[in-house]
Amino acid sequence: MDLNEILRVRREKLDTLKKEGRNPFDMTRFDREYTAKELLDNFDKFQDKEVSLAGRIMAKRIMGKASFCHIQDGLERIQLYVRVDELGEDSYSEFKKYDIGDIVGITGLTFVTHMGEKSIRVKSMVLLTKSLQPLPEKFHGLKDMDLRYRQRYVDLIVNPEVKSVFITRAKIIKAIREYMSNLGYLEVETPVLHNQATNANARPFCTHQNTLDIDMYLRIELELNLKKLIVGGLDKIFEIGKVFRNEGMDTRHNPEFTLMEFYEAYGDLYTMMDRAEQIYCYVADNVLGTRQIDFQGQIINLESPWRRLTMIEAVKEYSGVDFDSFTLDDEAAKKAAKEKNVHVESHWNWGMILNAFFEEYVEKNLIQPTFIYQYPIEISPLAKRNKDKPHLTERFEFFILASEMGNAFSELNDPVDQKERLIAQAKSKFGEYEFTIDEDFINALEIGMPPTGGMGLGVERMIMLFTNSSSIRDVMFFPTMKPESNG
RNA sequence: GGGACAUUAGCUCAGGCGGUAGAGCACUUGACUUUUAAUCAAGGUGUCCGGAGUUCGAGUCUCCGAUGUCUCACCA
């Protein structure tokens, strides 16, 4: 064994305890009355009362016959004052052997130190878990991003702000559920394993079911199954679930992420615009208590109404090119693209080039919440056509911090038009990966889906905004990592 | 996929022109009964990310590879 001194000493301490019949791993239970947070928040009520609590030793200051240490439980850190004359010679010398990282249970009296810190004067202490590895340094914490993601449990112990991000994450998702439930939405769950790779321009993950001996796909969206439920008469539904996209990874994309989709029968994209504003404001009010959010020094104002621009208006404003002046003229669009240095492929048409202009000139400017609506039909196969402009759709996306935060439309419910558009999309994807049409979805539309508004929200993007996080990896406990090689 | 940067003790980091590796925390021993990044004294940390090359000699220079961070590209 080539263990270094720190590891060796801790193992020897454990061996000694085992030999003396006091193996800490034999402990099964410790009845703690309070958490550190409960004690600290209501400290006056406990003045000079005996309490019990448990936690991990995070710092130790031994001063001969008396010592201070800090223990940390789920939410807070509290100071212990340990004296030999209160604990007894044997227990006190045991305590001196405890290491930072060990987990102890204690009883003691609350008191305030001369320096004014709320503390516990310990009457008894028992070792509940022996830590065999050293924790990172108390002052700098764990900084190495690779280690923080791979050993998130250590990150959570030593970097308190990390825990706070994930507590906020949980509050956000709880608030979303509350809001949807208050509006009469039913939460549903649909399968993660799909038989077909359908819809959405994203490559799927493939897997295999052994009993049926069939290839299956991890879902890349929730959309088609939820719309089938709308057909089935569940008029207001939402799902919050993991989806999987086999695409690039960066600070805004992780291969698996949490998507929320919701559908409301008899609503349309304007209903969905209201919902987007309302959800963000409800979460802001309930989680942060303000609708002005400080993100890396920029103040994001979530107060509704948000700015609403058609894609054509937005492109005109930020690039100076008016696509209304050459509607559906592919050659004029290509000429404009050349003049404005927008990269286009030879087979692209007016709508695709409009979208390219949007991505090149507009998206990066959309810092404050902004709805962009009337997307071109070529890139919106599941949205209804605009009645007056059939080359555009009743679709919007909304942007905050130049990032797409959600995507919504008046759902296309014409089964004939839908099938044609899915076939067109499938053809355009031919050869890239296997892509098929969900005939059952078409069948459902033939049974009849009411006019419906639907939206998808990237939950991590929202959490990033609310937790001031610049990377999606900072709001996921275990982001996707390459396996460590043996070098 | 391209580019830049990083990788040295358990952690955070320093290592000038190529000459057998350094600090703080943590750890061990001792002192200390209100400290809080406790203090004081003493002690030893190591596959310098991996591999190859240049060299009398490589943590340092060159090449190949690994992982990460940022960034560009791709991506509803």
Assess contact for A418 and A403: CB atoms under 8 A.
no
Separation of A136 CA and B76 C1' (Å): 42
Identify the bridge partners of residue A47 per DSSP, sorted by sequence position.
A110
Report residues 24-63 of A contacting strand B, contact meaning Cβ closer than 7 Å. 59-63
Separation of A128 CA and B48 C1' (Å): 38
Assess contact for A86 and A76: CB atoms under 8 A.
no
Separation of A471 CA and B63 C1' (Å): 34
pLDDT score, position A373: 95
Residue with nearest Cα to nucleotide B70 C1': A251
Query: Per-residue confidence of chain A (487 residues) as pLDDT tens digits?
Result: 345 788 889 999 999 999 999 999 999 999 999 999 999 999 999 988 899 999 999 999 999 999 999 999 988 999 999 999 999 999 999 999 999 999 999 999 999 999 999 999 999 999 999 999 999 999 889 999 999 999 999 999 999 999 999 999 999 999 999 999 999 999 999 999 999 887 657 888 889 999 999 999 999 999 999 999 999 999 999 999 999 998 888 899 999 999 999 999 999 999 999 999 999 999 999 999 999 999 988 899 999 999 999 999 999 999 999 999 999 999 999 999 988 888 888 888 899 999 999 999 999 999 999 999 999 998 899 999 999 999 999 999 999 999 999 999 999 999 999 999 988 887 776 555 566 789 999 999 999 999 999 999 999 999 999 999 999 999 999 999 888 764 3
Longest CA pairwise span in chain A (Å): 91
Instruction: Judge if the upstream peptide bond of residue A305 is cis by omega within 30 degrees of 0.
Output: yes
pLDDT score, position A430: 55
Report if pTM > 0.90.
yes
Cα A113 from Cα A119, distance rounded (Å): 7
pLDDT score, position A346: 83
Provide the edge-to-edge strand list for the sheet that holds A395-400. Answer: A186-187, A236-244, A256-265, A452-458, A403-410, A395-400, A370-373, A307-310
Separation of A360 CA and B70 C1' (Å): 22
Nucleotides of B under 7 A from a protein CB: 1, 9-13, 24-28, 31-39, 43-47, 49-50, 65-76
Those residues whose C-beta lies under 8 Å from the C-beta of residue A428, and which sit 6 or more positions away, are none
Nucleotide nearest to A397 (CA to C1'): B76
| Nearest alpha-carbon partner for A16 in A94, A126, A124 | A94
Strands (E), A224-317: 236-244, 256-265, 292-295, 298-301, 307-310
Q: Which helix (H) or strand (E) holds A281?
A: helix A269-283
Separation of A145 CA and B6 C1' (Å): 11
Separation of A486 CA and B52 C1' (Å): 18
Q: What angle do CA A483, A461, A262 make, to 5 degrees?
A: 110
Q: For residue A347, say whether its CB is under 7 Å from any atom of strand B.
A: no
At A416, list the tokens.
Answer: 């004939």
Q: What angle do CA A259, A363, A145 make, to 5 degrees?
A: 55
Assess contact for A235 and A265: CB atoms under 8 A.
yes
| Nearest alpha-carbon partner for A220 in A461, A475, A458, A423 | A458
pLDDT score, position A95: 94
Separation of A108 CA and B11 C1' (Å): 32
Q: Which helix (H) or strand (E) holds A71?
A: strand A66-72
Separation of A303 CA and B10 C1' (Å): 48
Q: For residue A251, say whether its CB is under 7 Å from any atom of strand B.
A: yes
Assess contact for A480 and A255: CB atoms under 8 A.
yes
A214-218 vs A298-301, strand pairing mode: unpaired
Separation of A137 CA and B23 C1' (Å): 14
pLDDT score, position A203: 83
Nucleotide nearest to A136 (CA to C1'): B11
Q: For residue A16, say whether its CB is under 7 Å from any atom of strand B.
A: no
Cα torsion through A135, A166, A78, A106, rounded to 10: -80
At A155, list the tokens.
Answer: 């990150």
pLDDT score, position A248: 83
At A3, list the tokens.
Answer: 């263990």
Identify the bridge partners of residue A79 per DSSP, sorted by sequence position.
A70, A119
Q: DSSP for A411-464?
A: B---HHHHHHHHHHHHHHTTTTS-----HHHHHHHHH----EEEEEEEHHHHHH
Cα A265 from Cα A410, distance rounded (Å): 10
Q: Which helix (H) or strand (E) holds A155?
A: helix A152-158
Cite the DSSP H helix spans in A79-138: 84-87, 89-97
Q: For residue A132, say whether its CB is under 7 Å from any atom of strand B.
A: no
Assess contact for A80 and A92: CB atoms under 8 A.
no
Q: For residue A470, say whether its CB is under 7 Å from any atom of strand B.
A: yes
Assess contact for A206 and A196: CB atoms under 8 A.
no
Q: Is A62 left (phi over 0), alpha (psi -120 to 50) or beta?
A: beta
Assess contact for A402 and A364: CB atoms under 8 A.
yes
| Nearest alpha-carbon partner for A449 in A261, A235, A184 | A235
pLDDT score, position A347: 83
Q: For residue A1, say whether its CB is under 7 Å from any atom of strand B.
A: no
Cα A33 from Cα A68, distance rounded (Å): 21
Q: Which helix (H) or strand (E) holds A313?
A: helix A311-319
pLDDT score, position A1: 37
Residue with nearest Cα to nucleotide B37 C1': A139
Nucleotide nearest to A146 (CA to C1'): B68
Separation of A139 CA and B22 C1' (Å): 20
